Every structure is written in structure tokens, then in C-alpha cells.
Amino acid sequence: MIVVMDLQVGEKELQAVEEVLQEYGYQCHLIRGENRIVVGAVGSGSGEIPPNLETMPGVEKVMRVMQPFKLVSREFKRDDTVVAAGKLRVGGGFVSVLAGPCAVESEEQLKEAARAVKEAGAVGLRGGAYKPRTSPYSFQGLMEKGLNYLSNIKKETGMAVITEAVNPADIEAVAEVADIVQIGARNMQNYPLLREAGQLRKPVLLKRGLSATVEEWLMAAEYIMSGGNYEVILCERGIRTFETYTRNTLDVSAIALAKRLSHLPVIADPSHAGGQWRLVRPLALASLAAGADGLLIEVHPDPARALCDGPQSLNPKHFSELMSEVAALVPVLGKTLCRGEA
């Protein structure tokens, strides 16, 4: 359930409400929005609404949340959540583009990619230090060395860094470098990893699983938020279908649906969806038109020599052309593009 509080409520009244809910076995989550203050009561509570709760000082009304995902739901928080990191703003009318190589291959490769995407207008640098791959013989990333390279580039460029954590034991080391910690598609239902992400106090980008329903995706986000981390970005990256001409099928409808069901920002990864660099542009623009709050784009200085996902990576020239189109489209959609130029 959610308890809607008066905007002028005092800390003493809030504490009294939380104590009553805890007596009935609920976990309390406090969200302060622009238009209202909400206490979310979730967990293994009795299911009962405590008597006289609605008459307590500062309480406006008590409502049951019908969706299985409580903290993630639009019922729980009507205002869009805005996730911020450096110049990056995602959600609430802000659009940010994060770009860079699929995998960190060398310090020089990362520097070249970072400079190119920043000059074109990206506000976030993506790059995988840890790479979970389908084949055990494929490039698995530079791991700790890759994190060091990302840390150095972050200091040089001032860009927000996003990189993936694949193991609960490594998430703290990743979080020391990353401004946004990515949970990849293969780990969307890695519940120990999600619980660790819930303990972080920095943004988490949660990719939709290869065959996950929208509800399963949102329930995975619920795991993170139930741990106390409310800065979650959802990422639609395509799902597995019967189609073989594309790597995955970009579910544009899921972007619009997730925006309707949840207050969390939603971005799209057209690179993994299409699997071909020529498809990235139309899929990116379609995602923004469907309501996406940002894009995650793979850009490599020399895609033909990439150790990971070269065929779906844009080169700097093609990325710059895409950014020009994104910059033209975003105002038409009534949103603001966050720019990363010096």
C-alpha cells in the first residue's frame, strides 16, 4: 500500500506512520516527489491496513497498489524519476546519450572513442571491463585493468562512465569507478547481484533480459529498489524472437508501456537490438519517438578491428551524424537533450 502524506508533514508525523506500518510487518520506503510525499509499505506485511491509519496527523489518504511491482509502479510515484550523473540527466523530459565501445580493449582505443563521442555530444561513456559472453573462448574483457582505464579517461574527459558488473563480489569495485552500474541482459534475474545493486547509492542501469516479459523486467527493478536504491534506469535492448535477420527484436511497444506502468526512466540500446550498424540510426530515432529518455550506443574507432560486437558498432563519423538527427528530433518531442561538449 501507499500512504500519501501532506506536503507540509513534519518528521515526527512521518516517523509515527512508519512505526505503525512496521508494527504490522511492512517495510517502509519514503519518496519525496514534487507534488506529494509518499510512504510505501511493502514486503511481507499482514496485508491489513492498520486501523485509524488514515486519520493519523499528516496522512491524506491510504491506497492499495494493485501492480505486483510496488515501488517501481506509477501508482507509487506519479512524477517521473530523473536520474542524474554529472551532466547526464535521464527522465522527466531530459534525454541523454551514452556511447562508447562494447568492450574496453586498450587505453588508446578507449581514449579515441571517448574523445569522439564527447565531441559529438554524448554525455556518458560506455565501455565494458567485464564481458559475459556466450562462448567461453570469446574476449572476456580486461577486467580490473579495464576499470583502471575507465577511471583515467573519466578524469581526463569529465564524462559520466557506465560499465557492467557481472558478479556480486565485483560490484563494489565497479561502483568505485562507474557513475552508473550496468546490470546486463543475462543478469536481469541474477537476484544476488540485484540485491547487491540495491545496496549501492548510485544509479543502476537494468537491461531487459533476452526473453523477459515487461512484468519480469519491472520486478527485477523492484529487487533493486526494495534494497533502498531508487535510482534505476530501465533499458530495452531487444528480445529474442523467431526473427533471424536481426540480432534481437527491438520491442518499441515495451518502451511506451514501461513509461506508462512505471515512473522510472527508460532508455534504448539499438545496437544490441539490430546487431547491424546500419539499423542503429532508425531504431534509435524510433525509440525516442516511442518515449525513450535516452540511448545507449556502441561506438568504436575502428569497428572492423573490434574484439567485441564490431558489426553493430558505429564509427565516429556515423555516430556524429546520428547525434545531429537526435539533436533535431528531441526538441520536436518536447524534451531537452543533455549535451556533453566542452
On whether the pTM is more than 0.75, the answer is yes
Predicted pLDDT at 20: 93
Residues of the chain with confidence (pLDDT) below 70: 44-46, 340-342
Per-residue 3-state assignment (H helix, E strand, C coil) for the chain: CEEEECCCCCHHHHHHHHHHHHHCCCEEEEEECCCCEEEEEECCCCCCCCCCHHHCCCEEEEECCCCCCCCCECCCCCCCCCEEECCEEEECCEEEEEEECCECCCHHHHHHHHHHHHHHCCCEEECECCCCCCCCCCCCCCCHHHHHHHHHHHHHHCCEEEEECCCHHHHHHHHHHCCEEEECHHHCCCHHHHHHHHHCCCCEEEECCCCCCHHHHHHHHHHHHHCCCCCEEEEECCECCCCCCCCCECCHHHHHHHHHHECCCEEECHHHHHCCHHHHHHHHHHHHHCCCCEEEEEECCCHHHCCCCHHHCECHHHHHHHHHHHHHHHHHCCCEECCCCC
Fold of the domain spanning 2-63: Alpha-Beta Plaits (3.30.70)
Predicted pLDDT at 135: 82
Domain boundaries, the chain: 2-63, 83-337
154-205 pLDDT per residue, tens: 999 999 999 999 999 999 999 999 999 999 999 999 999 999 999 999 999 9
Predicted pLDDT at 340: 66
Residues 31 and 9: their CA atoms lie apart, in Å, by 13
Predicted pLDDT at 297: 98
Predicted pLDDT at 89: 96
Domain 83-337 part of CATH 3.40.50.720: no
Distances in whole angstroms, Cα of residue 286 to Cα of each of 123, 136, 153, 245:
20, 34, 31, 18
Predicted pLDDT at 342: 42
